[in-house]
Amino acid sequence: MKVQAENEPYDDINITPMLDLAYVLLVIFIIMTTASVQGIKVNLPKASAAPSLAKPTTKAITITEEGRIFLDTYPVTMEELEAMLRNHKAANPDFPVVVKGDARVQYEKVIDVLDLLGRLDITQLGLVTQKLVK
């Protein structure tokens, strides 16, 4: 073993204490995670039928560059769109709707669709855009 002079700088770093600390933290993390998952055991009641936990189906209204309107993937007129949305609203009053308008579509077409959604009192509404890349 080489004896180091008093004013000489170190050539290497002893990482053993840092590794010891990392292992201790890892063991503590594992113990805390498994302790919080166990919880209290209870005898749960049995249900006769599983409740429906289905998410509401989102309807997508797409307006193409030519001004054609699609509900999901089916082409519709404004009258057909209104009738279909009324049917969906009767079945599920809080169903969400997203509107995807082409960037070059006439602004009036998008406003017509938004006006229709307002008349039908559809409040779960989203407008789809692209993320701006800088």
What does the domain layout of the chain look like in residue ranges? Answer: 59-127
Tell me the pLDDT tens digit for each residue of 26-47. Answer: 999 888 776 654 544 555 566 6
Beta bridge partners of 127: 99
Q: 30: number of CA atoms within 13 Å, CB side?
A: 6
59-127 has which CATH code?
3.30.420.270
Of 116, 107, 108, 105, give the one whose Cα is nearest residue 78: 116
Higher pLDDT among residues 46 and 63, named by residue: 63
- pLDDT bin (cut points 50, 70, 90) of residue 5 is low
Tell me the pLDDT tens digit for each residue of 94-119. Answer: 888 888 888 788 778 888 888 988 89
**pTM greater than the 0.75 cutoff:** no
Of 48, 77, 49, give the one whose Cα is nearest residue 61: 77
The stretches of 1-134 forming alpha helices (DSSP H) are: 16-38, 78-91, 107-119
